[in-house]
Amino acid sequence: MNLLFISYPSWIHPEILPGVPVLGIVRWYGLMYIVAFSIAFILLKRVMNEGALNTPDFTCTEDDIFSFISTGIIFLLVGARVFSALVYDTSKLYWHKPYLIFWPFSSDGHFTGLTGMSYHGGFIGGFLGMLFWCKLKKKPLMKWVDAMACALPLGYTFGRLGNFFNAELYGRITTVPWGMIFPTAQKFSKSLEWVTVFAKNCGMDVNSLQNLVNLPRHPSQLYEAFFEGIVLWLIIWLLRKKKPFDGFLTSVYIIGYGFFRFFIEYFREPDNDIGYRIAKASDAPIYLNTSLLNLSTGQILCMLMITFGIVLAAVCAVKAKHK
């Protein structure tokens, strides 16, 4: 039988060296954050060397960009964690015990790290961090944020690869030949007719399947890494020397990310405990895309991002015209 799916690689674990004392707690997700920030710094340094951050009375140095990006990262991590804990956690635990938001241990004392991070919270936090630094150092905000926009998407690519290594944030079930079976995904009963038909269409031997079937899913983390990371970065990188006004590249990043993420969300399964924020039918399954009118939390936030990006571009364009 011709298999039309890919099994998630068994050698990939969330931990880089599982079972190794001390090093066994180091996770791919955390390492990907380090790689992302390192790449952002390298690209920001490249933009600096091109003179994009210089003014008639100021020449940017490596210390300046290190201070700038470090401040942004600190605010980004805080925003990502707080937003995840307060918006995406439906138990309301963190609303009642906010001191646990940055507590990296489980109730039984095991080290878990900060297991929930939100991109949109990180975006808000990072923007506030850059705003804070620019006000403190008396630097033109949009000129510096534009420079960061040239670096962020490529770094973001590795954040999504971290999600892939964690086998999390996977997509909805699919029959495309690159569909992947993720070990932690929801399983479905073989007694359901649609499950056996779906499995058969994927090339699975239905007779040999156990009662609970793990169906292939879109590797949506890789879709996001490619479109929201590599493609968006290429667009901004090629435009960086042609921007018509300060704030243009930032607006392209915000609108571009919101656009790509909005449509990729149709392939990505919403969080099981949240489901859809807006749904055509109250019983719409989250593992299938049954209607374009079913919108997730991420899609609503992306629509807000696109709106903000358009408004920002208009404001910056008018401001530049009247200089």
Residue with tokens 């507590």: 103
For residue 125, tell me if it sits in a domain.
no
Distance CA 113, CA 7 (A): 27
Cα atoms in the 13 Å half-sphere on the side-chain side of 72: 24
Long-range contacts of 294-298 (CB under 8 A, 24+ apart): 296/265, 296/268, 296/270, 297/87, 297/88, 297/270, 297/271, 298/120, 298/261, 298/262, 298/265, 298/268, 298/270
How far is CA 319 from each of CA 75, 142, 147, 309, 314, rounded to the nearest angstrom?
Answer: 27, 11, 19, 15, 9
CA 313 to the chain's CA centroid: 23
Quote the domain boundaries for residue 256.
Answer: 6-55+140-321
Strands 212-213 and 188-189: antiparallel
For residue 132, tell me if it sits in a domain.
no
For residue 18, tell me if it sits in a domain.
yes
pLDDT of residue 109: 65
For residue 192, tell me if it sits in a domain.
yes
Q: Which residues of the chain have pLDDT under 70?
A: 1-3, 17, 19-26, 105-115
pLDDT (tens digit per residue) in 92-135: 777 888 877 777 766 666 666 666 788 899 999 999 999 999 99
Q: Structure pTM? A: 0.90
Distance CA 236, CA 222 (A): 20
For residue 196, tell me if it sits in a domain.
yes
pLDDT of residue 72: 94
pLDDT of residue 50: 94
pLDDT of residue 313: 97
Give 92's contacts (C-beta < 8 A, 6+ positions apart): none
Provide the domain count of the chain: 1
For residue 22, tell me if it sits in a domain.
yes
Q: Quick count: other Cβ atoms within 10 Å of Cβ 40?
A: 23
pLDDT (tens digit per residue) in 250-290: 999 999 999 999 999 999 999 887 889 998 888 899 999 88
CA 305 to the chain's CA centroid: 14
Paired tokens of 269: 């399964």
pLDDT of residue 1: 44
For residue 44, tell me if it sits in a domain.
yes
Give 111's contacts (C-beta < 8 A, 6+ positions apart): 25, 104, 105
For residue 103, tell me if it sits in a domain.
no
